[in-house]
Amino acid sequence: MECAVIYRRLKTFLQEMIDSHHLEGVEAFVTGRGLSAEEAIGNPDRRDYPLLKGKERLLQAEFRGTAGQAFTDSPGALAGRLRDFLDMTLGTNFERAAFIAVLNAVMRHLGLIEGTVHCKDKEPARCAGLLAERIRREYGNPKVAMIGLQPALLEECSKEFSVRLVDLDPDNIGRLKGGVAVEDAELKTRELVEWCDLLLVTGSTVANGTIGTFLQVDKPVIFYGTTIAGAAKILGLRRFCPCAK
């Protein structure tokens, strides 16, 4: 599915929510900013999360006291009416992340989704253990393709399953993480899709414009994280994020 089609569906859904819940007007104002690492993830046991290394930031939008988040490599401040975010072209990582964060905040406010705020402290490690348990229970012993580096998830999965990993960060490519060599996402993603039995995909793909690839594969796909909370509900995607708030 083309990303342009995906974003049109997300925009259409948000427009329908604005209309059906009468959210247009001055009071429908959204603010947001990039969170500090401690605000986003607290003080986890390990220090190799991208949030702590400054590679990514969590952009948080707030609508009527409700927060929605999206990972991005292009954080910034945001403020405006809901209409302003519908009018965005979504041509940059910041615009996409801002729109996704707003979508998540509005859908959470309306009670349509949960888990729009990143887990903290010891919870990311707990999440990883729960994920490995779920994969074992539902899929047995699959070959797992991980799209995007999440160190705790990688470490737990690589203990039990055959895992290959691709990432976009050039500082990670070619390095060993959790005993697994990080491969170049731009060069190796298609190969991993053909190789694996199960894809484990970061929800950040909906904010960086790469999600389309993973909606066309004829294999099980699990998206993880807070970023994709709203999109997963709208598009009918399987999402794993048990510890998010």
List Cβ neighbours of 157 (8 Å cut-off, separation of 6 or more): 128, 131, 132, 135, 144, 146, 163, 200
pLDDT for residue 150 is more than 50: yes
Percentage, residues of the chain above pLDDT 90: 68
Residues 186-204: what's their mean pLDDT?
96
User: Environment class of residue 182 by beta-carbon count within 10 Å: exposed (0-12), middle (13-18) or buried (19+)?
Assistant: buried
Kind and range of the H or E element at 223?
Answer: strand 221-224
**CB of 75 within 8 A of CB of 68?**
no
Indicate whether 157 belongs to any domain.
Answer: yes
Indicate whether 103 belongs to any domain.
Answer: yes
pLDDT for residue 39 is more than 80: no
Indicate whether 117 belongs to any domain.
Answer: no
Judge if 100 and 145 occupy the same domain.
Answer: no
Residues 112-117: what's their mean pLDDT?
96
pLDDT at residue 49 in the model: 56
Indicate whether 55 belongs to any domain.
Answer: yes
Q: What is the mean pLDDT of the chain?
A: 89
Judge if 137 and 221 occupy the same domain.
Answer: yes
Indicate whether 98 belongs to any domain.
Answer: yes
Judge if 178 and 217 occupy the same domain.
Answer: yes
> Could you give the number of structural domains in the chain?
2
Range of the domain at 85: 3-109
pLDDT at residue 3 in the model: 84
**CB of 116 within 8 A of CB of 59?**
no
pLDDT at residue 1 in the model: 64
pLDDT at residue 174 in the model: 94
Residues 85-95: what's their mean pLDDT?
92
pLDDT at residue 27 in the model: 57
pLDDT at residue 53 in the model: 47
Indicate whether 9 belongs to any domain.
Answer: yes
pLDDT at residue 52 in the model: 45
